[in-house]
Every structure is written in C-alpha cells, then in structure tokens.
Chain A
Amino acid sequence: MTASSIADNPPPPGDARPSVSGKAVRPGDRIFLGLSRGSGIALLVIMAAIAVFLTYRSVLAISGDKADFLTTFDWNATGTEPKFGIAVLAFGTVVSSVIAMLIAVPVAVGIALFISHYAPRKLASPLGYVIDLLAAVPSIVYGLWGALFLVPHLSGLYGWLNDYLGWTGIFSYSQGAARSLFTVGILLAIMILPIVTSVSREVFLQVPRMHEEAALALGATRWEVIRMAVLPFGRSGVISASMLGLGRALGETMAVATVLSPSFLISASLLDPGGGTFAQNIASKFSEADQFGQDALIASGLVLFVITLLVNGAARLIIARRKEYSGAAA
C-alpha cells in the first residue's frame, strides 16, 4: 500500500484506496466521479430544498394564523379570520402511534422469536418469507380492510371494555361505529407488525450459535436461553426495528384517513370516535383548501416531519450507544 504516497488524487479527500496511475486523472474518471458526486450533491440539495420550502410556506401560514398554532383546538384555515392549531393533531398522532407500538412491538418480538426459535424448521423459512411479503402490502389496502372489516368487528369488544374498564375514563365507550384513535392504533399495529417482525427476526437469527450453546450447556431451558443469550444480543436491533415501525405509524396517512372519524376535540376516551392525526388531517382537508389553507396544511406537515426526525434521531442515538457497549465487549 505504499502506492498511496505516490498517488495524488485530490478530489476524494482522505480516499484510502490508491489510484494506480500517478499521472493526471483521466477524463473518464473525472466524468464518472463528477456524475456520482453530483448525484450525492443533488440529494443534499433536495433535502435542503425540502427544509427551505416547507419552512417558507409554513411561515406564511403561521403568520396569517389568528390563533395560537400550537395550542388551538380547531382547523379553520379559510376566510378572513383563519384559526387553526395542531394541538389535537399532535395528541392524536402521538397517542395512536403509542398504542400501535404497545401492541405491535411485543407481538412482533413474539413472532420473530417464534420464527427464529420455536417454529418447526420446515415452517420457519416460508413463514419468514410470507412476513416479508406482507410488509410490502400497501397501506391503502390496510385502510380499506380496516374501514370495511375491522371497524364493524370492534364495537362488541369496545362495549365489553366499557363494561369492565369504563370507570378509567380512557376505556369508556358510547355506542356507535368504532372509528376511534384506539382503532387507528390497532390498525397501525397490524400494519407495522410485518416490518418490525422482519427486522427483529433477522437480528435474532444472527445471534451466534455459540452463545446459545453456552446457555444450553449450563442447563438453561429454551426460555432461559432466549433471556440470557438472544434478547440481550438482539436488543438494539429490536429497538431500531421498533423505531422504524414508529416512523411509519407517525406518518401513516391512508390507513388513518379511512378508519378515523375525525373531530377537533381531545376526549379522555380513546374508544369514542374523534381526534385526528397530522397526516389524516392533511389528506382530508386538502381537497377543500385554498392556497392559504394548503400553506396551513404544509405547516402541520412540517411539524410531523420534525417529530419523525426526532424519533429517528433518538433511535440512532440508542443504537450507537448500544453498539459502543457491545463493540467494547466484542
């Protein structure tokens, strides 16, 4: 690798791979490098443009808002006195996504363990394949199924929850179609289940055989093997899978728009219809919005974007920290 001292290849700073020729860069190389670097730069430009334009339109909208954008329980972006705020949307988005995570993550870890450690071997790999395929089903199909099949099947369950848990307030339910945030949460959970399962399964399958055998040889039962060797090894993978799922749940539009019966109220009950999410609100308000109304929706979209960025950033931090630990340990 002494060639690197001869090679003087200015464009890629710190390029470790030496250029074979010590002479000037060939035109072919220059063009190719230019193209590929240009693409990278184009990507950066797009990201910058997204940030700039969304912010610009949002500023237009928020400065025209006659009410507090963060705390108002209303979305009326037309007329001379536009009043709109994201309080209900933020609440609905977070609550439905949290419900989805609470349901989906344990179940997904269960299925992933089922495929990697419990299922008969003949069943395991086709199952993994089917899960991967299910992850590709478009969200609008989940939305259609949710609206026409899931909703009618849930009102009985909700009545039941109301009978036994209604006193909590959270689970009180007055009759009617089950088009509530809780239903949205359930549907989102079903929707992100395949992707969370798929990623978790990959991680569980990567657990080194020798760690599992170490636990087995100490006289561990199957569950103890999983607790000692599989789960600690897979933890950061499960976290990143969950965050991937959470990102999808937060930004999901169609599955929410079809199932939820929206309103601009925050009610203590999760089972009663009402509430809204950022994406659902954009989709349902868009067709009747004038230009200012569209700006207002863009402003709410920007908030959604920031929230998903924070979630993804948090996930990356967690993973980086875990990696450091296991890196030091490896």
Chain B
Amino acid sequence: MAKRIDVSGLSAYYGGHKAIDDISMTIEPRTVTAFIGPSGCGKSTFLRTLNRMHEVTPGGRVEGKVLLDDENLYGTGVDPVAVRRTVGMVFQRPNPFPTMSIFDNVAAGLRLNGSYKKSELKDIVEKSLKGANLWNEVKDRLNKPGSGLSGGQQQRLCIARAIAVEPQVLLMDEPCSALDPISTLAIEDLIGELKERFTIVIVTHNMQQAARVSDRTAFFNLAAVGQPGKLIEIDETERIFSNPSVQATEDYISGRFG
C-alpha cells in the first residue's frame, strides 16, 4: 500500500518569491517522517509540493522532481487530481465539509471515484472511522453534521475522510496545532497505528511531538527572512534529537532560536 517518496532538486515559488530551495530527500514507506523548523522555513510549502497542492495557491510554481516509487509527480501527462487521490492530506485546522453529515464527509472521496453500493459504502465508512479511532464516538450520529463534533473529533474525522480512499501516502500539516492536549494525544496514538499502512509525513511545530511520533526527522531553516527555506539535515529522529550533525539543528532543538 505505502510507497517510497524520492525528492530531488525541488524548489517552490510564490510568484517571483522562492519559498524553498533545492531540496532532496528520501522518505521510506511505512515510516513517519516529521518536518521541523522555525516559522517561514518552508516546511508546509514543501509538504504541499508532495501532493501538488502547492500549485493551487495563486502564483504557486514548482521545479524539480518528486518520485512516488518510480513515477514523477511533476512528469508530463501526470494528472494532479490523480496525484492528490494517491497522496492524502490532513490540514492544520480541521475542515470537514460543513454542509455534509459525518457519513457523507467520510464517503466524499469515495463518491468522487465511481459508484459504490450502499452497503459497500457503509462498510468502508465504518472501517475508516474505526481506523481513525472515531467510530465509537460517532456511530450513533452518522447523519449529524460533521462540524458539530469537537475539534479533536473533527480532525480525526478528516483523517478518516483521507484514509477512506486508501491513499499511498498521508501528509499532515500541523494536524494538532489547533487541538487541546488530550485530542493531540489521541491523534498521536492514531499516527502510530496508521504508519503500519501508510507512509506518513507530518509537519509540526512541536519538537516533543516530532520526537514522540516520528522515525525520521527533517530540519528546515532559512538564512534570513525573505530568503528561501532549505533542508538542513534529515536523519533518524533519535540522532537528530541527541546528536545532530549540524550546529543549527542543535541550536534549534535546544531552543536557542525559532
């Protein structure tokens, strides 16, 4: 199910402004990779280049290659719609469709792709909600609007929605930053379970979170405000947090800046 991501020489722009510069890295299947770094270092932008969401931002433009197993996401003839269906995404703020019920939210992605029998749809929705550890909390109110849930539940609903279409990769853009500690814990546990099935990439501001959930950690930094963000290093999470090879990383994780 899960695929390897191979990024080489990737830069992204907003209009004339270069947001990230020449990034290369490999992300192994069925691992959790965390991106950390100070605000504005381009880690979210980089994340959004991995499912071609960057280019929906007005003026957004990408150079370089992202290989999913052996296929370049930015190759000619590649359909960005198909890319986003293969690489799922969870956003910073929970964003269930406000006019849809919980059930319809989870089924939304499935309904886009062909027809399912009602019973099939039910099965997949139930499995996805179970996979997101939300089933027990919502099974009695599947027809209520998804936005009636608490923030943490909404975020898990969004995760259920993303995994319902069985993507190869799951991108998470600071999924816990709008949540309270208990909800955060629930999501972190969930990430631990999900990595058995998906390649997961998570952007986080919270270094403890990166240390808790990730196998590998990438540190991004920028030389100055207005300069493009760069990948400083990527390594086993344990090494990054105990014995990083670059001084800037150590400064950042020990709280000397950022």
Interface residues of A (CB under 8 A from B): 121, 208, 210-211, 213-221, 224, 228-229, 232-233, 325-326, 328-330
State whether B95 touches A218 (Cβ < 8 A): no
State whether A214 touches B58 (Cβ < 8 A): no
Report Cα–Cα, A121/B15, bound state, in Å: 12
- A214 and B145 in contact (CB under 8 A), knowing A228-B97, A229-B97? no
Question: Would you call the interface of chain A mostly helix, strand, loop, or mixed?
Answer: helix
Contact residues in B for A214 (Cβ distance below 8 Å) = 91, 95-97, 158, 161
Using CB atoms, name the residue of chain B closest to A220: B112
State whether B95 touches A329 (Cβ < 8 A): no
Return 12 A-B CB contacts under 8 Å, by A number.
A208-B95, A210-B95, A214-B91, A214-B161, A216-B84, A218-B85, A218-B108, A219-B109, A228-B108, A229-B97, A326-B99, A329-B145
The count of chain B contact residues (Cβ–Cβ below 8 Å) is 31
Question: Using a CB-CB cutoff of 8 Å, which residues 139-185 of chain B contact chain A?
Answer: 145, 147-148, 158, 161-162, 165
Report Cα–Cα, A329/B154, bound state, in Å: 12
Partner of A216, one of B56, B58, B82, B145: B56
Contact residues in B for A219 (Cβ distance below 8 Å) = 81-86, 109, 112-113, 165
Report Cα–Cα, A213/B113, bound state, in Å: 18
Contact residues in B for A326 (Cβ distance below 8 Å) = 98-99
Contact residues in A for B84 (Cβ distance below 8 Å) = 216-220
Report Cα–Cα, A325/B165, bound state, in Å: 28
- A232 and B99 in contact (CB under 8 A), knowing A213-B53, A220-B112, A328-B145? yes
Which of A121, A229, A325 counts the most chain B CB atoms within 10 A? A229
Partner of A213, one of B83, B91, B96, B165: B91
State whether B112 touches A218 (Cβ < 8 A): yes
Chain A CB within 8 A of B197 CB:
no
The 8 A CB mask of B81-120 against A (1 = contact, 0 = none) is 1111110110101011111100000001100110000000
Report Cα–Cα, A228/B84, bound state, in Å: 16
Report Cα–Cα, A88/B86, bound state, in Å: 61
Report Cα–Cα, A214/B99, bound state, in Å: 13
State whether B158 touches A216 (Cβ < 8 A): no
Contact residues in A for B100 (Cβ distance below 8 Å) = 232
Question: Using a CB-CB cutoff of 8 Å, which residues 27-81 of chain B contact chain A?
Answer: 51, 53, 56, 58, 81
Report Cα–Cα, A218/B91, bound state, in Å: 12
Q: A224-B112, A329-B99, A330-B98 are in contact. List 19 more A-B contacts (CB 8 A).
A: A210-B95, A211-B97, A213-B53, A214-B91, A214-B95, A214-B96, A214-B158, A214-B161, A215-B108, A217-B88, A218-B85, A218-B88, A218-B108, A219-B81, A219-B82, A219-B112, A228-B108, A232-B97, A232-B99
With both chains docked as a complex, state the minimum distance between the C-beta of B3 and any C-beta of chain A, in angstroms.
16
With both chains docked as a complex, state the minimum distance between the C-beta of A137 and any C-beta of chain B, in angstroms.
31
Report Cα–Cα, A329/B158, bound state, in Å: 16
State whether A210 touches B93 (Cβ < 8 A): yes
